[in-house]
Amino acid sequence: MGLFGKKKTENVSPKTENTSNAVSGSKMNVKILGSGCKNCNDLEAATIDALNSMGIDFSVDHVTDFTEIASYGVMSTPALVVNGKVLSYGKVLKKDDVIKLIEKGQ
């Protein structure tokens, strides 16, 4: 039994088939870091909505294990990690904010 519990993993596929803006040949790996509270769930929903609207092929994992969260250097949740890079932490982003961060981070 771990000190902080087990990691919850949830894979979500995009709802649209539009891949015109997608990074060619690669699937974006997105992680939402947080305890599973309302703010974490809101960030996850906004992120999924943003990625679907961008037409990006992606998978989303919701990480609740605090040891793994700390391994990213994140001490304030919720956090958004895209392809291993922390893009945001400590705040709930709206759909448009997620889109801007992903476009900037690519």
What's the pLDDT at 26? 81
pLDDT surpasses 70 at 77: yes
- The residue among 10 and 23 whose pLDDT is bigger is 10
Q: What is the torsion angle, in degrees rounded to the nearest 10, for the CA atoms of residue 12, residue 16, residue 17 and residue 22?
A: -70
- The residue among 11 and 18 whose pLDDT is bigger is 11
pLDDT surpasses 90 at 80: yes
Domain spans in the chain, listed from the N-terminal domain onward:
28-105
Q: Looking at the chain, how many residues does it have?
A: 106
Select, from the ranges 1-5, 8-12, 24-28, 35-39, the one with the highest average predicted confidence (pLDDT).
35-39
No. of helices (H) and no. of strands (E), the chain: 3, 4
pLDDT surpasses 90 at 30: yes
pTM of the predicted protein model: 0.75
| Confidence band for 22, pLDDT divided at 50, 70 and 90 | very low
CB atoms under 10 Å from CB of 1, counted, come to 4
Q: What is the DSSP string of 61-82?
A: EEE--HHHHHHTT--SSSEEEE
What's domain 28-105's superfamily in CATH? Answer: Glutaredoxin (3.40.30.10)
What's the pLDDT at 105? 76
What's the pLDDT at 106? 63
